[in-house]
């Protein structure tokens, strides 16, 4: 496909990539944290050797390395403040939490923001289609390590080694309610190997509470262990308040009271929709 991106745009991406790589122990580890981007591609972009690199690759790199809050003003909502407190405590004291909140209450965005501000925060965005080995590989990938070709026990040991090399690490398992029962057991294995060395925060919707309750009642394998290790610190967050949403709307450039009210009314406490509606208003 014909490349049309100019050198100025590529230079901007190169500079962003340099800053992104600086957050990792090595350029190789930074490359391994990116999807469908090779170590050689990262090296070539940084060194300005991009004649054979397609615009699609540049765009993919830009999307993956851009700060989640780029062009977006962060507001200290009640949920952001509480989640930051939880993450900070988990990292400082190697503590564990389960956080439950309604969909689109700001869990993922806050986790991304916290990760962008701290080097030893590893955010794992869980997927319902993962098996145990994929889960371990993705956990390592969040740490900048390629786990391909390793056995499950080797993957766990790689996670332990990475944790031991960090000062105040914390692993955030986002959308933890999506994982299967087999992965529940894998979390127990990870916990047993990094207890008192790393914080763990599993965050989800309140579906996780119902699932845990049912699993405990049916004495399903792994549920008592997960609850014992993570459930002692169970935190419930509320949906975003109207005052939170108004603050976010105004902080991101919508001052007209009629427009603020329209966004507030249409969003229905959904922060993802708030962001989308702000973008629509700005482009109208």
Give per-residue pLDDT as tens, 9-32: 899 899 989 988 887 778 887 887
Residues 51, 22, 164, 99, CA torsion sign: negative
How far, in Å, CA of 138 to CA of 173, rounded? Answer: 11
* Dist CA 181 CA 225 (whole Å): 12
- Angle at CA of residue 15, ends 10 and 19, nearest 5°: 145
Instruction: Tell me: pLDDT of 69 over 80.
Output: no
In the chain, % of residues over pLDDT 90? 46
- Write down the pLDDT at residue 130: 94
| pLDDT tier for residue 66 given thresholds of 50, 70 and 90 | confident
Is pLDDT of 263 > 60? yes
Contacts 24+ apart (CB under 8 A), 142-149: 142/33, 142/171, 144/24, 144/25, 144/29, 144/30, 144/32, 144/33, 145/29, 145/32, 146/32
The set of long-range contacts for 56-60, using a CB threshold of 8 Å and a minimum separation of 24, is 56/1, 58/5, 58/9, 58/10, 58/13, 59/5, 60/35, 60/36
pLDDT at residue 178 greater than cutoff 70: yes
What pLDDT, on a 0 to 100 scale, did the predictor assign at position 33? 78
Q: Spell out the residues 6+ positions from residue 20 whose beta carbon is closer than 8 angstroms to its own.
A: 30, 65
Contact at 8 Å (CB) between 112 and 203? no
Domain boundary assignment for the chain: 7-65, 78-236, 242-283
For the stretch 38-65, pLDDT in tens is 889 999 999 999 888 988 899 888 888 8
Which pTM does this prediction carry? Answer: 0.79
- Architecture of the 78-236 domain: 3-Layer(aba) Sandwich (3.40)
Instruction: Tell me the pLDDT of the chain averaged across its residues.
Output: 88
Q: How far apart are CA 90 and CA 165, in angstroms?
A: 17
Three-class secondary structure assignment of the chain: CCCCCCHHHHHHHHHHHHHHHCCCCCHHHHHHCCCCCCHHHHHHHHCCCCCCCCHHHHHHHHHHHCCCCCCCCCCCCHHHHHHHHHHHHHHHHCCEEEEECCCCCCHHHHHHHHHHHCCCEEEEECCCCCCHHHHHHHHHHHCCCCCCCCCHHHHHHHHHHHHHCCCCCEEEEECHHHCCHHHHHHHHHHHHHHCCCCEEEEEECCHHHHHHHHHHHCCCCCHHHHHHHHCCCEEECCCCCHHHHHHHHHHCCCCCHHHHHHHHHHHCCCHHHHHHHHHHHHHC
Tell me the per-residue pLDDT of 205-241, one tens digit each, with 9 for 90 and over: 988 889 988 999 999 988 888 888 886 678 999 988 8
Characterise 119 by phi-psi region: left (phi > 0), alpha (psi -120 to 50), beta (else). Answer: alpha
């Amino acid at each position: 496909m014909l490349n049309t991106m100019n050198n100025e745009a590529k230079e901007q991406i190169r500079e962003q990539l340099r800053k992104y790589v600086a957050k990792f122990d090595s350029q190789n580890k930074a490359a391994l944290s990116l999807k469908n981007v090779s170590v050689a591609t990262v090296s070539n972009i940084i060194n300005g050797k991009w004649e054979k690199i397609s615009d699609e690759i540049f765009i993919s790199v830009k999307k993956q390395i851009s700060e989640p809050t780029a062009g977006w003003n962060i507001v200290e909502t009640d949920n952001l403040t509480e989640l930051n407190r939880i993450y900070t405590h988990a990292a400082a004291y190697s503590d564990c939490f389960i956080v439950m909140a309604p969909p689109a209450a700001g869990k993922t965005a806050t986790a991304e923001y916290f990760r962008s501000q701290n080097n030893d925060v590893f955010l794992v965005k869980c997927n319902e289609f993962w098996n145990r080995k994929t889960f371990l590989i993705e956990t390592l990938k969040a740490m900048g390590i390629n786990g391909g070709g390793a056995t499950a026990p080797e993957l766990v040991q790689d996670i332990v080694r990475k944790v031991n090399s960090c000062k105040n690490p914390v692993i955030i398992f986002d959308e933890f309610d999506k994982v299967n029962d087999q992965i529940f057991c894998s979390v127990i294995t990870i916990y047993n190997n990094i207890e008192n060395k790393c914080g763990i925060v599993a965050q989800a919707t309140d579906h996780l509470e119902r699932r845990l309750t049912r699993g405990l009642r049916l004495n399903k394998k792994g549920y008592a262990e997960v609850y014992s290790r993570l459930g002692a610190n169970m935190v419930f967050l509320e949906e975003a308040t109207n005052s939170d949403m108004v603050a976010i709307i105004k902080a991101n450039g919508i001052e007209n009271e009629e427009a603020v009210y329209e966004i507030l009314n249409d969003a229905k406490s959904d922060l993802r929709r708030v962001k989308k509606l702000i973008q629509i208003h700005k482009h109208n």
